[in-house]
Amino acid sequence: MKTATIEISGLLSALSSRGIERQLTKLPGLHKAEVNYVAGSATVAYDETIIDLETIKHKVHECGYHCAGEQMPKHLCTPEDPAIASAGTAIPPMARAGHGHKVRTTHGEHEAHAGHGGEMESTAHEMGHSAGMDMQAMARDMRNRFLVCLLFTVPIFTYSPMGRIFTPPAPPIGLELNQWLFLLATLAVVYPSWPFFVAAWRALKNGVLNMAVLVVLSVGTGYLFSVGATFLFEGDQFFEASAVLLVFILLGHWLEMRARAGASEAIKALMDLAPAKASVIRNGIEVEVPTAEVVAGDIVVIRPGNKLPVDGTVDTGESLVDESMLTGESMPVKKGPGAMVIGATINKSGSFRYRATKVGADSALAQIVKLVQEAQNSKAPAQLLADKAAQWLVIAAVVVGLATFAVWFWWIGQPLLFALTLTITVFVIACPDALGLATPMAVMVGTGLGAMNGILFKNASALEDATKLDVIVFDKTGTLTIGQPEVVETMMAEGVTEDAVLAAAAAVEQGSDHPLAQAILRRASHLTVTAPTGFESLDGMGARAETDGGTIFLGNRLLMDTQKLALGLLEAEAARLQGNGRTVVHVAQNARVVGLIAIADAVRPTAKAAVAKLRERGIEVVMLTGDNAATARRIAADLGIDSVLAEVLPGQKADKVKELQAMGKKVGMVGDGVNDAPALTQANVGFAIGAGTDVAMESADVVLMKSDPYDIVAAIELSSATLRKMHQNLWWAVGYNVIAFPLAAGVFYPFVLSPEIAALSMSGSSAVVAINALMLKRTKLAGIRRPDGAEASIASQVST
């Protein structure tokens, strides 16, 4: 099974995506198709032994839409298949239309530019929106059509009875008024409205009804009736109503497309992060090559201010690297030999060389882009329901519109023009796009904001489920704690300095790779330590070393007792430290205990604030660990955690999650290791913390790139805010349509709406939904850095 995200342009209505999904899922070997109207893309899961991307793209073209290729970061160009323009027609590399992003094409090929595709595109695309347009280009095209329509609508309005505030000049070349209005209306309607006619035809061909169908019915009915009244039969024409109606529709769609373009800014920014060129060593010489040509094993040269082109491991040199654009970590990270570096991050100070390990589609950037795309294209449960409701809303609009005409014209006996006007008003006031936009716009903005902060939601369901959690279970090691022992306290005998105790201990531990030895060596790294002249390991107790300063014994209490070394005043301190769950290392020199070194798994700086914030939200926090109960309770007490599951074996973690779920609780599991995978899968929402470059964790629903427990708070806050926007949008969309239908149908006669007001209301409804979703970017959320650089501070919540 393979998953890919492809670009689809020309989507004019939210329900257009439903028709493409319906056609794609008929293909053999294609198991899933999720089309995102807001992003203009589709995520497809298919069996590559049965079907390939070229066949899928052909099907998209058969549906009447343009497919430029697979969406990937700009610098990548290792393809699975060639791009196509229409069924069976291959496009030469430099003629392909793209969206400003890289589409996967032949190796070595550079970025395709947005264009119209010339003779290679189908007639429908030539006469509607040009194929290959990205959302910004579609917004500009819609703006141009709006301006053309407005240009010819002004004189129509001037000559019509409703707009005649002064006497206009006579129509030119001896034309009758109706004939002159016909010419103006044709210019105002045909070109500006053509994308809607094309979109309606595509929708009907794909077996769905969308908003374009309603636009065609309303504008087309008014225009054709007026044409008939001008040339075929006696009657009043209302060209001005059709033209003004179209002006408002085009204005609304222009604003909506601008909002859709804004919603996809985050994924576009990710795609553009990596540099186009990289400096590598080839045959002993430094050369500059396209990033796409960097291969695993290449030595990459990085200087101050450079962007890293690919992932790798530092070979030589040291520097500070800004990883904020991928992980959300605001402080630069020190990198030295052996350290992992991520492509698209920025080198701040020194120069270094590193060996490329993950390139192309395997790089962290490519994996993040893929993850975000799949999340944005996935459908939350609420969206599935909204899509069905939107489809039925179009049918309802057609039925209610026809019923309105029948009741007012044949039953009540109102004039034909009045009944027809109300019918057009009903057609145009229905707004299925508001329902169709409600959820995907919010998901697009929410997942994009999360990606900016190193929080990657794998699907829209995870975004929704994260708001329903009753319990968060933290696997202690690596999540609440750093995951490696650190010296947390030192106690010295009378007359002995801390440096003397650390130097003596470090002399014994030199060369050891034991975790406790490494903790002591890190703490003593600022000291000059003399190598021992003799060394003996004492099994189960510690070690003895001969140094210039005498014989040193380093180990546990048993070693001191065996050597008959009294702790003296340090006896009480040793008991206190052990009672607090510390590992106590005893240091003796020249037959005297000179000090104690307390070692523990240090708590992460933001862990306490994260626990407090979760409890403030009413979420129970549980700590799960394999440690003994005393140590676990001590750490939990420090963090403010009441519920502790101690002495849990790795294989039992998933069982503990099941036990909590059996009590009727929605459980979130936070883990960082391979042995956490079953528990992450079992939980209602699995959070993989500290993922770093391993963003494709199959077992997690939410991937957190930093090792910061406060990101759990940020993820839940972001989920809640996104879900609020979804619900607000859905309530608005439903409420608008419930009120709109009776108003448009004349139920409150003599108070009736004109088609122009209905069009403004319909366009405004979609715009309100889109703008409300975009407001999520301005919402202040704990732990989330906003696009303007502002960040919700947690300093006030960190207590000492």
Answer yes or no: are the C-beta atoms of 98 and 111 closer than 8 Å: yes
- Residue in the block written with tokens 């715009």: 767
CA 421/CA 711 separation, integer angstroms: 55
What are the catalytic residues?
A: 475
- Residue in the block written with tokens 């239908």: 741
Residue 16: burial class (beta carbons within 10 Å; 0-12, 13-18, 19+): buried
Q: At what angle do helices 416-429 and 755-774 cross, to 10 degrees?
A: 10
Q: At what angle do helices 515-523 and 498-509 cross, to 10 degrees?
A: 140
Bridge partners (DSSP) of residue 31 are none
Residue 152, φ and ψ in degrees, nearest 5: -90, -20
Coil, strand or helix at 782: strand
Question: Please, what is the Cα angle at 139 between 433 and 372, to 5 degrees?
Answer: 70
Distances (CA, A) of 498 to 214, 504, 544: 81, 10, 20
Can you state the percent helix, strand and coil of the chain, rounding each to 5? 50, 20, 35
CA 440/CA 36 separation, integer angstroms: 7
Answer yes or no: are the C-beta atoms of 553 and 559 closer than 8 Å: yes
Provide the CB-side half-sphere exposure for 303 (13 A, CA).
4
Bridge partners (DSSP) of residue 685 are 668
CA 700/CA 371 separation, integer angstroms: 12
User: Which of 305, 302, 303, 325 shows the shortest CA–CA distance to 313?
Assistant: 302
CA 569/CA 592 separation, integer angstroms: 12
Amino acid at 455: I
User: Which of 298, 253, 4 shows the shortest CA–CA distance to 140?
Assistant: 253
